[in-house]
Structure 1
């Protein structure tokens, strides 16, 4: 009797396990935090043009060489290393200027790349309680220029902890400090100038978009920028997609790929027209009208990848197979339980009958 009860318990455990396999997918993550960090202090030179700011704004001369310094301290109890990277400024899709490491490429209007002018060690190692001075070398071009060359010095502690997904994916949390740098030779004012590059279909975070790409081709910042885009079918006045965003900025000699969402709709091939209005400080006002085409191959490719669309990909035979196998497994287990239970009852009945005959 005890053996039969044990079998029943095992079968019930199997049922629960089967349900968990078919119906649930649990993901766990381990997260740890590194308390050991570093501190830094910007040492401003005499040719700093502005006071009480947290970045370098230096008045330079053609072919000038200079070393500026950042003081770095390790207040912790363990040895640490800080990675150093130099980056020219870029403009991201939200109209925010990036001074740190980014995958955004240089605009074709860049004449003097920040990373060709500025150099620094790639790593600084700090013992517990130690203070070191990071020396950043500036070598200005021999050719003079108006406007500014801009970038950032990024400092990121090596060996920061990761959040790892047991299912195979990974999220990495890293904290970095970035000190901006503006290099200027002349006091002559430079007015930004905008140039439309392209309008084309694309995706952002696996969602269908139309990207309006335009550049600031001058060595000056664009401030308080507003971008408004309306998309219509070519030859029609009916607006099918639109977006407006204000309070944006652009870095000198950089481009922006401004995304216009498709409201979760399926991308349709065809001919379209984009009407674009961009305004900003310094009296900037640009209006462009650009025809563009979405091919069938593009539409199919992006629709396949768009996570917001319900895909008709045919019958999922693997899922159906799992359901069928699971169903028959449950039926088999139920039959086994009923058979065991019936046998137990029969044994009890036989015992009672034998006792009566005695």
Structure 2
């Protein structure tokens, strides 16, 4: 009998092989690259109208019709003459709850009346610096005549120009290059707070594929000219009329840029998305305020089919799985019955022998 137990275990392992799945790890984007690898560093030259001179980014007090030029030092620590791209980019909020200055192609939110790209522009889009030398990038600031409230936030991005950028001009693919971003805050009142907790709105729900994963994206809008920080965002997907969470997500220490959309995502995971009516239930909690959201949405058969087909991570159940399951059950039951019969016979045999 002892010899037959390992054989049974081996049979079950053959019928039910152990399968491992690799998880997709989404790394958050890093704006500032390692100095040694980049071969250069940058430094903001803070002007006289800098509100706080203890910080390393621009926080400028401006006025209607105000004009000025600010400088960014570029220190080339490499042994080669290098050319750097200079850009001004509106602040945005990514799906990880971070304020970024690298989404240059992203259209400003409809609540943003004055993007920083309309106020600040590079004097030259490229700057060349000799090896082991220092150069500068200049940003021209021209404030419109109409006054604005709150803050305008963006970033000055300095990145190393490479051969890939030439390919980009020809319509070819582009690889990431090393770069730095220096934040720029503009305000017309010195006591205007940078951070606040005035209002958040849920403007849209969109089931979609993002980086190969099936997600529900909830567009949470900050419609005011103030940034937000130290927020906790959480949400779940349930069948309409039910409470059990089919998928959920929670992010802590969330920051949201002024007048921007925070694309809060809930990953469906490995499960198949099925057509039907669902409800998104979410909330964002700050230090002083809390916002709750609840909205129904529908996934059509076509949407479900498309999401399940396009996902990078799919579970395929072989056709032989069900047959193997029943076969293993029959074998297990038969072996168990045989063992029981053997034990009963042995017990009766011992009793007769003792008599």
State the shift of 1:192 in Å. 3.1
Candidates 235, 245, 250, aligned match of 2:256: 250
Gap regions ≥5 residues in structure 1: 1-33, 163-169, 315-358
Name the counterpart of 1:141.
144
Name the counterpart of 2:281.
275
Q: How far, CA to CA, are the matches of 1:252 and 1:309 in structure 2? A: 38
Q: How far, CA to CA, are the matches of 1:251 and 1:39 in structure 2? A: 25
1:138-191 per-residue CA deviation (whole Å, 9 max, x = no partner) reads 1112111221001001111112799xxxxxxx9945211111100011234565
1:152-167 residue pairs with structure 2 within 5 A?
Answer: 152-159=155-162
1:86-97 residue pairs with structure 2 within 5 A?
Answer: 86-97=88-99
Q: How far, CA to CA, are the matches of 2:37 and 2:299 in structure 1? A: 51
Contact 1:192 1:221 in 2 (8 A): no
Moved over 4 A (4+): 188-191, 311-314
Q: How far, CA to CA, are the matches of 2:237 and 2:215 in structure 1? A: 11
State the shift of 1:78 in Å. 2.0
Gap regions ≥5 residues in structure 2: 1-35, 166-172, 320-355
Secondary structure of the 1:46 match is coil
Name the counterpart of 1:294.
299
Contact 1:86 1:154 in 2 (8 A): yes
Secondary structure of the 2:309 match is helix
Name the counterpart of 2:118.
116
Candidates 35, 42, 45, aligned match of 2:44: 42
Q: How far, CA to CA, are the matches of 2:37 and 2:109 in structure 1? A: 39
Q: How far, CA to CA, are the matches of 2:177 and 2:112 in structure 1? A: 30
1:202-351 residue pairs with structure 2 within 5 A?
Answer: 202-281=208-287, 283-310=288-315
Q: How far, CA to CA, are the matches of 2:230 and 2:72 in structure 1? A: 31
Secondary structure of the 1:131 match is strand
Q: 1:313 to 1:148 in 2, by over 3 A?
A: farther
State the shift of 1:54 in Å. 1.5
State the shift of 1:300 in Å. 0.6
1:7-18 residue pairs with structure 2 within 5 A?
Answer: none
Candidates 84, 87, 91, aligned match of 2:86: 84
1:259-304 per-residue CA deviation (whole Å, 9 max, x = no partner) reads 10112101111111111111113x2211121010111111111100
Secondary structure of the 1:300 match is helix
Q: TM-score scaled to structure 1, two decimals? A: 0.71
Name the counterpart of 1:183.
186
Name the counterpart of 1:350.
none
Q: How far, CA to CA, are the matches of 2:95 and 2:304 in structure 1? A: 22
Contact 1:231 1:239 in 2 (8 A): yes
Name the counterpart of 1:349.
none
Q: TM-score scaled to structure 2, two decimals? A: 0.72
Name the counterpart of 1:51.
53
Name the counterpart of 2:62.
60
